[in-house]
Amino acid sequence: MAVLTEGQDLYLEASPRRGEGLLSFARRFCSSGDAASLVAAENGGSQKLLAGIRYRIPFSTLDDNYQVQVVRGLFEDDRAVAEGWQHRVLSANGHSRESLWNLAEWFTGQGENYQAIRESNRLDDDDLVPGQMILVPANLLRPSLRSALPPSSPYHLQYSADQKGEFAIYRLKPGEALYSSVVVRFTGRVFAEDVNGLAREVAARSGIRDVTDIPIGYEVKVPFSLLLPEYLPAGHPKRQEYEQSLMASAQFSNVVTASRLSGVTVVLDAGHGGNDVGASVSGVWESLYVYDIMVRAMQILQGSTAANVIATTQDGRAHAVAQQDQLSYSKGHRVLTTPNYQIEDSRVGVHLRWYLSNSIYRQAVENGGDPDKVVFVSIHADSLHPSLRGAMVYIPGAKYRSGTYGKSGSVYASRREVKERPQVSYSSRERVKSEGLSRELASKILGAFHERGMAVHPDKPVREKVIRKRRAWVPAVLRYNAIPAEVLVEVCNLANAQDRNLIQTAKFRQQVAEAIVSGILSYYGQAEVDGGPRVAAAGR
């Protein structure tokens, strides 16, 4: 329970677990190893904790995750924006007991920062009015709150309007192109047809006749209707909605650690397969190469960790790693439902995967497993605008998953996994939590790509939706999936010659598999060394 006292002090109140001592209780909530003495002092000096009693933990001693949760729990109208933390002053009998000093202590850790807050908000005095919005600048915030802010744009945009509507202005820098530096970056479009079409639209809006000969510093105009919400002006309703969704999902982070991934179930999925070859460029089938990456990840997990590893598909009698660089053509993939489904219809293959994943998740939880010790990783290789290369990860955006879903027909009704639960729906909290946990898992995986010097999309490598032909959606294998932490990893762009050449080498596919495993290990507080994954030192 988050508590704000009459004296304007912040606390977290919590009950100890059965048999939990003061030291382990403090370690569960606090960032400092010596916080136990402070917790004891706050609760009458008692060193012995009693079950069923709530004990106060000072806000300043809490770890980052709990500090953010306390603030969000107490101040429901607050918003994290790129510029800082927006706080709405609370009312008590029509008056405010809050002061700028209180705000400075809560949000920055130092009451003396009240003057900087007053100056940045251009206040004439220190008196606060109920309902008043105060911005605590990002540079003053506690590290925990600063980390919860949405990313600020590194690009300088100006905003204007004319008879055609509102638009952002971006001045091209040396070496930048309209396609990659404007359309891909600011609109989020990555598919070649979309990028080329919007480049022509932006060029026409900006008075550009030749997109290959644009002067440095030229003012490119991007209509608001095309901009990603994070690039809209501060205070724009769509940007506010986006920032609020980030803030809501960010309250969920994985606090579960697992030595050698003990007790963790990893569901691995290779995209497409069978008659569905996925992206196909210059004779390179997506289905063949992502399947080999999946099998390599399985091999690493099974050989180096204690995780329970389950694949959604199989080609042949066993999951065998290919030794050659260029892979032999095969359409023998099947989904491992009961009974198996030889992939003939791509849509059926996709839907049976999430039914299978949901069944695996239910069994893990029903057998006493921790719901947060199940992860889902779907491996793909996309075909985008050829100027792009590197990895990108899709996660399930909460706003795209409302409703009830289910499939009918004999091909579905004959599968045990479908019979177990034909329809699925998810509460708002489940959807928001899944977005938050999935974003964290995605960041860990991409971090492992970075550490290995592997290419990652430079702009928005973690995406909560697919945008194509002016439509936005979450891939079905994520949208209907019950596993809270779920990602779809696009390991490279087959339309880019460099990426396409790389994926046709066993060395690269092994590096990708190692990066995925490393990301999962990091998500559960573990690390790896040369020679394979191993247990990290204790801690989150």
pLDDT tens digit sequence for 14-38? 999 888 888 888 888 987 767 888 8
In a domain, 127, yes or no: yes
245 domain-assigned? no
Residue 367 lies in a domain: yes
| Whether 496 and 511 share a structural domain | yes
User: Cβ neighbours of residue 531 under 8 Å, at least 6 residues apart?
Assistant: none
Look at residues 248, 326, 244, 218 and name the one whose alpha carbon lies nearest to residue 282: 326
- Domain termination site, one of 191, 220, 237: 237
Query: Which residues sit opposite 366 in a β-bridge?
Result: none
**Residues 88, 231 share a domain:** no
Domain boundary among 44, 68, 92: 68
Q: Is residue 243 part of a domain?
A: no
Are 62 and 79 contained in the same domain? no
Same domain, 179 and 302: no
**Token couple for 275:** 């008659």
Asked if the structure places residue 540 within a domain, the reply is: no
Instruction: Indicate the helix (H) or strand (E) that contains 102.
Output: helix 100-108
Could you tell me if 105 and 194 lie in one domain? Answer: no
Give the chain's domain count.
Answer: 4
The confidence score (pLDDT) of residue 129 equals 86
Whether residue 51 is contained in a domain is answered as yes
Interior/surface letters 384-400, b for 16+ CB within 10 angstroms, e for the rest: bbbbbbbbbbbbbbbbb
How many beta carbons lie within 10 A of that of residue 235, not counting itself?
A: 8
Does 86 lie in the same domain as 41?
A: no
Tokens of 113: 């920062």
In this structure, is residue 377 part of a structural domain? yes
DSSP 30: B
272 and 402 part of one domain:
yes
* Domain co-membership, 50 together with 81: no
Residue 450: CB atoms within 10 Å = 13
pLDDT of residue 412: 98
Instruction: Work out whether the CA dihedral 212, 213, 218, 223 comes out positive or negative.
Output: negative
Distance, in Å, from the CA atom of 359 to the CA atom of 416, rounded to the nearest integer, reads 9
The neighbour count for residue 474, using CB atoms within 10 Å, is 23
pLDDT value of residue 267:
98
Give pLDDT, residue 316. Answer: 93
Q: Is the pTM of this model over 0.75?
A: yes
Q: Which of 41, 68, 95 is the last residue of a domain?
A: 68
Same domain, 83 and 128: yes
Question: 144 CB contacts (<8 Å, ≥6 apart)?
Answer: 63, 64, 65, 67, 68
Cα distance between residue 230 and residue 228, in whole Å: 6
Residues in the chain where the model's pLDDT stays below 70: 33, 92-96, 151-153, 528-540
Give per-residue pLDDT as tens, 445-477: 999 999 999 999 988 999 999 999 889 999 999
- Do residue 127 and residue 178 come from a single domain? no
Q: How far lies 51's CA from each of 23, 167, 214, 369, in Å?
A: 15, 59, 70, 24
107, two tokens? 């949000």
Judge whether 463 and 392 are in contact, CB under 8 Å: yes
pLDDT of residue 153: 66
Quick one: CA dihedral 490, 496, 497, 499, positive or negative? negative
- Main-chain phi, psi angles of 63, to 5 degrees: -75, 170
Specify whether 368 is located in the same domain as 484. Answer: yes
Write down the pLDDT at residue 152: 66
Structural domain including 115 reads 75-146
| Residue 381 placed within a domain | yes
- Amino acid identity, residue 150? P
The full length of the chain comes to: 540
Cis peptide before 422 (omega within 30 of 0): no
User: Do residue 342 and residue 452 come from a single domain?
Assistant: yes
